[in-house]
Chain A
Amino acid sequence: MRKFKCSICGFIFEEAAGLPEKGISPGTKWEDISAGFVCPWCGASKTAFVEVSENVAATVPAIQQEGPVEQVGEFTVGELSALFSNLAKGCEKQHLPEEMGLFLQISDYYRSTMHAASIAKPAPENTYAAESQAAMKDDGPPAASLHDYGFHAVSELLREDLSDGFAKANRASAAERDRGALRALVWSEKVSRMAGSHLDRYAREGDAILENTKVYVCDICGFVYLGNDLPEVCPVCKVPNYKMTQIGRR
């Protein structure tokens, strides 16, 4: 009997034990479980599960050939807005309300600069269509254009993060034994992988994925949870669920 672990939150499914509360009787083989199976803790899809191997060496990912990290250069407007809102949170933790307000004021300045840029340049709808067609031509995700509205371009960036950005950052942080950096990477890589699976589902099914479903975002790590029964703690960062904020419809 084998075991499978959710790569997002760490939930372990054991074939021997099954999941009787989800109608999966003990002894059910993994391949006999429906493709629509989702992780009971975090809602990740069946494809997010990996077999737990007794052989630890087998789980170490192969090191790929790669070039040096590209030049970062100046902060972008978006980075500055996040950098300053993060400092506002630091002040909140230190119980410095006045400083928090001032950092937020600077963060909001950059946020509105960012927003003004998108008003000046209205969403180029033709570009999205062209991108979707291009994606379909080179065997990109099927039907990515079905419910696009600009999400396809987001998926493209996210895919780059997952295939390249995280690997490089993890390697650099591991080489320096920077456990703080590794911690942030573990969280954001899980959150990103889950976001990627939400985006893929949205591209296929559109608004239907949120029918009769609530939407929550963890205030601490950014994990997006689609579902009605919040887990006790965030599946990624383990903060108690009162720090997971529901996003309403407007």
Chain B
Amino acid sequence: MTGATAAATIDRAAADVGIQAWVHARRLGPDLDEVTRGGDELVPMASLYKLPLAACWSDLVADGALDATERLRVTATQRAPGPTGLAALLDDVEVSQRDAVRLMLSLSDNAAAEQVLDLVGLDRLSAWLTTHGLNRTIVRRGSRDSWSVVVEETGGGDVGEAPRRLANTDVDVQTSEYNALLASATTAADMVTVLGRLWEAEHHAMVRDSLRLQAWRHRIGSGFPHDDVGVYGKTGTLGRLRHEAAVIEFPHEHPVAVAVLTKSARPETHQPRVDAAIGAIARAAVTVLRRPL
């Protein structure tokens, strides 16, 4: 397969399930080799902000500005709501900073992510993005505030209602969280750059390991159903947005970083066909970049 046929496969797979897809892949090796399909276009990023956030946190720890083992008390009344991890628990808990990062990456835990964002701060994160050449990426708010925006724009009330409102099949429900100029936003190429940074430096080992532990294998992972192939990924989901950025490691080959950002025509929360298409798209992009070490 060549780059051109990969692009055609990506377009076909996207059209076949009714999504827009923005794709970028790069081999993390000595020679620059990339596949891109709208990889430079700005897309609202949903939970993908947790990826640069983890990288920034990891650099701050390496610099001695933060203590990875410091214990954080996360109280039941104050933490961000969410479907997984600390966000889904009932009682007060205490975790270390690095375990909060682990939960944020492996389960997309919103409560843990809120703790990490508080530690790092939006200002330090913005400065980190600029320093590392991620000029298109802008993190305006964390998941908790994103959902507050959605709640407010879709009729107020309980945050638990908001995902159901976005999933209304009879109305085209809009939110500024779908607008790259108003929401936190990135490009597929920028997400690949973040992964490249994480794979460059030894001190990011804990972050890489947490990505390997990600609980979901339904998106990019579905394109690589091989027990000996490493999939180090982070998903991002909000309404019609379904994203994942991942590094794929075939044994004895250079790792390949790939980001697949999508927006579906269908509004429903569960869309296995789209998740599988993201896997097929990632496979098409990664396959042309595979090279032995």
Chains A and B come from one and the same complex: no
